[in-house]
Chain A
Amino acid sequence: MLRRTILKTAAAIALAANMGNVVGAELAGSVNYIIPFGPGGESDISARFQQPFFKEKFKQDLVISYQPGGGGAVGWASLNGLSGNGQTIMGVNLPHIVIKPAQKDVGFTTADLNTFYMFHYTPDAIVVTADSPYQTLDDLIADAKANPGEVTMSGSGKASANHLAQIKFDKLAGILTTYVPFKGTGAAVTALLGKQTKAEWGYTTVGAKQGDAVRMLAVAMDERHPLFPDVPTFKELGYDMTGGAYRGIALPNTADAATTRMWSDMIGEINSDEAFRQQMLDGGFAMLDVGIDDMADFMAARVEEYLDDARKAGLIK
């Protein structure tokens, strides 16, 4: 807490210094906000939530466009070729930006991306249908122990947050489940609701969206999600598992320090708006406030964690 206060003060001083020297960066019209995925996913929904707040606070339009391809790689590989004047920003996702470049040359590295703010995450969760025989996490574990490999779990993509969570939890609980990758969370949820699989590795957002149709067995958070006071955390149940898919925003790396600072402050301002936070929480998201000053530490910790997990899982060498 103290560290954060000091950092924040330092940031404020740095900002003031910037304002003094450089002519403070300014928006010169509407902003192009690129989502490197198709519409409808968590990246898109959270960007849509930001849109009206941005317009209200900074009087400019945030124009969202989609550049899907290569699981986000097409967009991120093109980011640094775009203008760094502050009028173009792009969504970034963890663990994608760590795992993809570690697997193969995809035209960018994690360090290439000028990520200036991580604004939320969707905590991992095990989801089952409302009429599933699994009432608790123990029921699922018992079934998986009795029938190794026969508990099928849908999830979004391979080498993704869902997949890493499945591998990690299988190890922690000493069980063997079968992960079935689908194209995006929507398809994974459809498979769950249609009983094609017995459970889903999803996020708290699935619980928020599907309401009474599903039940979450546990969530990977430090404390329970305010929207789901009855759903235990993995930690409570004795499995040391927190995390999920983290989302943030990056600028092209040609953007100068003042522009990057301005953006970090703007997204931070939206993130501190109570109405925005409430809307995100109601959607099942969990808030995160990592601005430009804390980014290096945050990223370093994540990179280490993800690479370690992925290596143990045999997803990368």
Chain B
Amino acid sequence: MQVRLYSRFAGRHRGEFALELSQFLAAITPFNIALALFGVVAGTVVGSIPGLTATMALAVLVPVTFSMEPASALILLGAIYTGAIYGGAYAAILLNTPGTPSAIATTFDGYPMAKRGDGDLAVAIACFASVFGGLVGALSLLLLAPPLSKVALAFGPVEYFWLSIFGLSLIASLSNGNLVKGLTGGAFGMLLSTVGVAEISADIRLTFGSQTMIGGFGVVGALIGLYCIPVLIDLVAVPDRHLKVEENVKSVRIGDAFRLTLRSKFNLIRSSVIGTLVGILPGAGGSVAGLVAYSEAKRTAKPDQNFGEGEPDGIMATESANSATVGGGFIPTLVLGIPGTPPDAIVLGALLVQGVRTGPAMFTQSGSIVYTFIYGLLIATILMLPAGLLIGRYAYKSIVTIPKAVLVPAVGFMTIIGTFSIRNSVSDVIIMLCLGVFGWVVARFGFAASPIVLGLILGPIAEQGFVQGWTIGAATNNLFGMFFGRPISQGILLFTLITLVLPLYLARKKRKAAMEAK
């Protein structure tokens, strides 16, 4: 309450409270609630289909919102965005394919859960975690936006560099016992990320003169190829059912899911805070937030938890973190006029067309629209609970009951359409299929898809941060101080070292204890 008073009402008079109420009432008109519900449902469906992204759905819908009140338009766009981030979990859990990059870490435990017959439980847990994370993100936006926006500015090139190195350190903890193979995969992914026109230096690299490669390896296409195609090949290669189904399917396991989620409240809170903070950083996004939260959950795991083999806490960490990035991402968008993610950028564009001035002056000049929007986002997040549980149940049932002969061609068709639709490029489809077959082959030799994708996503962030940090450091004759002297960098570096060294230390201690017991 203290913070709330400080951040929202410092220096304003009491009339603001009445305004506050009126903004809340403006948000809950039946029309706006209907828009929020529609947005959440549409977003969830779009997000669940690999290749169709929140960015695409928003881009198409923006003109529809021109005829609406600015606040209603924003509520619709915000609801679609929130829904899409949650929808990405379905494909991650049921098909081992992240529907959006944000859901990468959801596959780690979601798919193993689905395989052993707990898919419905996993979907329900994802829904609870998403709603929780979404609420934390949206409340942070409502109560703490101006002070939190400083996080975006405190992060310079070097901090992004270390953050990506921290993300890459996850490879060590992901590749249980297969560190060399994990690192090889990560390095390969980073190499792939350098193909095409370099983002900041504009050099054309490693295309071998081919036009196909100029656009490089897109993350979404790579996700579809590396995750989904191997699953499809396996489905065809083995006679078993896709997912194990219990004889008597308890169609609703909402109670179980709720109890499990409640038990892990600390994990949820930590992951949501991580998600909000990472969301504030422009250029990081939901995939990095999910991975960092997953890594932290795994690092602090209890001895009886088996991350990577169907641990509900893994899903909770990822899903709460990536949903929290929605509210978090709007913080720099609204306060600084700097979009945190591509969907934020579209919302920013829609605002401009509506005549709303974004940037530092927005909270004071267009405050009523902004606050009505934030309340709308909160309402949309709450509506995600019933909508998400219902859609999740339906999605689970249909994926489980559809015979393999229908499922495989349907999903196969979807992967191609999805990849093509990213930028109407046949090259992308060819690259996706090649990566898919490649992923299946190397998986036979113990190379997992995740380190490759991690390298692909984090490689450019690391490269840009390094080049920019080096340029600035060299110009000011302070290279060492640039990379090692800044407090936030030191903090991230410390966490990276802990993540890397702690598992080795614990394993050694365990071995020692076992030896002594003998």
Contacts and interface: CB of A to CB of B under 8 A. Distances in A.
B476 A150 contact: yes
Contacts of B156: 191, 194, 196
B476 A152 contact: yes
A61 B499 CA distance: 52
Interface stretch (A180-188, A266-274, A295-303): A180-188
Contacts of B361: 211-212
26 contacts: A38-B55, A44-B346, A44-B349, A48-B350, A51-B62, A63-B60, A67-B423, A73-B197, A74-B214, A78-B425, A104-B204, A107-B214, A150-B477, A152-B476, A157-B199, A158-B201, A158-B202, A160-B202, A180-B472, A182-B200, A186-B282, A189-B338, A193-B153, A209-B337, A209-B359, A212-B361
Nearest to A149: B475
A136 interface: no
A228 interface: no
B211 interface: yes
Interface string B328-342: 000010001111001
Nearest to B477: A150
B216 interface: yes
A55 B63 contact: yes
A165 B199 CA distance: 19
Contacts of B154: 194
Contacts of B476: 150, 152
The listed residue with most B CB atoms (<10 A of its CB), out of A105, A209, A210, is A209
- What class of interface size applies to chain B in its complex with A? 35 or more
Nearest to B209: A105
A44 B350 CA distance: 10
A65 interface: yes
Interface in B418-442: 423-425
A39 B346 contact: yes
Contacts of B342: 38-40, 66
Contacts of A77: 211, 214
Contacts of A197: 472
Given A45-B352, A67-B424, A187-B282, A210 B196 contact: no
Contacts of A160: 202
Contacts of B350: 48
A220 interface: no
Nearest to A36: B423
A80 interface: no
Contacts of B175: none
A79 to B, nearest CB: 11
Given A71-B197, A190-B338, 10 more contacts: A48-B62, A69-B196, A104-B204, A150-B477, A159-B202, A183-B283, A190-B332, A194-B155, A194-B156, A209-B358
Given A44-B349, A150-B476, A181 B200 contact: yes
A213 interface: yes
A283 interface: yes
A9 interface: no
B352 A48 contact: yes
Contacts of B348: 40
Interface in A269-314: 279, 283
Contacts of A73: 197, 214-215
Interface of B: 55-56, 59-60, 62-63, 66, 152-157, 196-197, 199-202, 204, 209, 211, 214-216, 218, 282-283, 332, 336-339, 342, 344-346, 348-350, 352-353, 355, 357-361, 423-425, 464, 467-468, 471-472, 474-477
Nearest to B467: A181
A283 B337 CA distance: 13
B424 A190 contact: no
B345 A40 contact: yes
A103 interface: yes
B77 to A, nearest CB: 12
Contacts of B157: 180, 191, 196
Contact of B283 (A150, A187, A210): A187
A182 B357 CA distance: 24
A159 B361 CA distance: 33
A38 B336 CA distance: 19
Given A190-B282, A194-B153, A69 B218 contact: yes
Given A51-B353, A107-B214, A150 B475 contact: yes
Nearest to A193: B153
A216 interface: no
B149 to A, nearest CB: 10
Contacts of B199: 71, 157, 183
A84 interface: no
Contacts of A157: 199-200, 202
Given A193-B336, A211-B361, A78 B353 contact: no
Contacts of A181: 200-201, 467-468
A40 B425 contact: no
Interface centre among A69, A104, A158, A195 (most CB of B within 10 A): A69
The 3 closest A-B pairs by CB, nearest first: A40-B345, A69-B215, A194-B153
A213 B360 contact: yes
A68 B423 contact: yes
B196 A182 contact: no
Contacts of A159: 202
A51 B66 CA distance: 9
A127 interface: no
A16 B346 CA distance: 40
